[in-house]
Structure 1
Amino acid sequence: METADARARLLELADGRGVSLSALSRMIGKNASYLQQFIKKGSPRKLEEADRGTLARFFGVDEGELGKVKEKYRDAGGWMDVPRLTVGASAGPGSHAGAEEVFGTLRFSDRWLRSMGLRPDTLSAITVTGDSMEPTLRHGDEILVDSNWQPLREGIHVVRLDDAVLVKRLGVLGAERITLISDNPAYRPIECGLDEVIVIGRAVWKGGRI
């Protein structure tokens, strides 16, 4: 199902069950405005696989009714092919959040991933752009992002703020406030409310040229 149809279907299901979008957002571990933004503003552009599955089970419908189901990874005899997405995580002023398309894969040992406590089906790889996370992350580095990031904790995350996708070190200021920190001291921290950002995932690995 295309994303626009999935948004309409989710709203139809919520209305039919008499449950609010904010309640559904909290059920999947997101901030209260998450699904409202998904339906009304198109951000995120599609539901994460884990969230889509949780919602489908709650409503008792096929997961495909809430978005196009794609193979997240491929088992290659003890190795897992994790998708590389075209969306860039900006370590700079901000990268426009365009469509996320798979353009290749990175192969990891299934045993290694699981020894790190990672599930292959919640992982994707994206390229870092900009210099705000130097020296930790450099322009052109690829990072492995785990969409199974709950509970929220400090560390490097990929977030969507307004129409920009950013990779920043996340600091928790309080129950509803966070700060997005750049490792490069030339960039000032960004303080914002949890309801102003969408956490895409936690960065768990990096790779790049020497």
Structure 2
Amino acid sequence: MHDADPRSRLVTLAAERGTSLAALSALIGRNPTYLQQFVRKGSPRKLEEGDRRTLARFFGISEKELGGMEDKSSASGGKREASVWIDVPRLALDASAGPGALAGREQAFGHMRYRRQWLRGQGLDPAWLSTIAVSGDSMEPLLHDGDEILVDQRPNGWRDGVHVLRLGDTLLVKKLSFERPGHLRIISENRLYAPYELPLDEVAIVGRVVWKSGRV
């Protein structure tokens, strides 16, 4: 049983898991300083229910430890279920596989559920994951319009592969090649779209695409 202040408890849990408050903020679809402000400045005064639930499931604890009320109806099975499943936030924006989608506010509007064991086997840290939908046809046949993609946002040093990137206010999903120092080659899977090159400092890489799902 833990009677600590929810802020102190959150800091302790993050340290035990080896993750940061910024990464946990991304997990719940908030800006990187959201939980740091919650801990240090008391703003917000308490976590919103959806944020608290996501964090509790991530850590495999009761919501009560983060300032919520004990759910007695599910107390016996809730912790076990949380230890098996991870709810990865779905962001309310699309990564365009076409001319480019305007990037809106990156707020979670739902979740995709993954087995903790599967994520661990893929070498993925849930605190850095999000899912978004693909829009357009420039990555066909690899990615189709409406596919959901799992994006790993850990800044571990980028390498060639499929990534979500931001050009100004435009969000794209493309193959990236880092073969020329200081530049980035941006490649569409669909041959109707010609590749092009940009200086690396003009591109913000959001994350690497590590998995996809979609209709048959």
Q: Which residue of 2 aligns with 1:197?
A: 203
CA–CA distance in 1 between the matches of 2:93 and 2:183?
26
CA–CA distance in 2 between the matches of 1:112 and 1:52?
22
Q: Deviations over 1:147-171 (max 9, x none)?
A: 0142110000000012100000010
CA–CA distance in 2 between the matches of 1:92 and 1:125?
18
Q: CA RMSD in A?
A: 2.6
Asked if 2 retains the 8 angstrom alpha-carbon contact of 1:49 and 1:122, the reply is no
Structure-2-length-normalised TM-score: 0.65
Structure-1-length-normalised TM-score: 0.67
Q: Which residue of 1 aligns with 2:36?
A: 63
Cα distance change, pair 135–150 in 1 and its aligned pair in 2 (3 A): same
Give 3-state SS (helix, strand or coil) of 1:77's partner.
Answer: helix
Q: Which residue of 2 aligns with 1:102?
A: 108
The alignment of Structure 1 onto Structure 2 pairs a total of residues equal to 155
Give 3-state SS (helix, strand or coil) of 2:99's partner.
Answer: coil
Give 3-state SS (helix, strand or coil) of 1:63's partner.
Answer: helix
CA–CA distance in 1 between the matches of 2:211 and 2:155?
14
Q: Which residue of 2 aligns with 1:177?
A: 183
Counterpart of 2:187, as a letter, is I
Matched, 1:160 2:166: yes
Matched, 1:141 2:147: yes
Asked if 1 retains the 8 angstrom alpha-carbon contact of 2:84 and 2:115, the reply is yes
Matched, 1:118 2:124: yes
Give 3-state SS (helix, strand or coil) of 2:166's partner.
Answer: strand
Structure 2: gaps (5+ residues): 1-20, 27-34, 59-81
Alignment partner for residue 150 of structure 1, among 156, 164, 168? 156
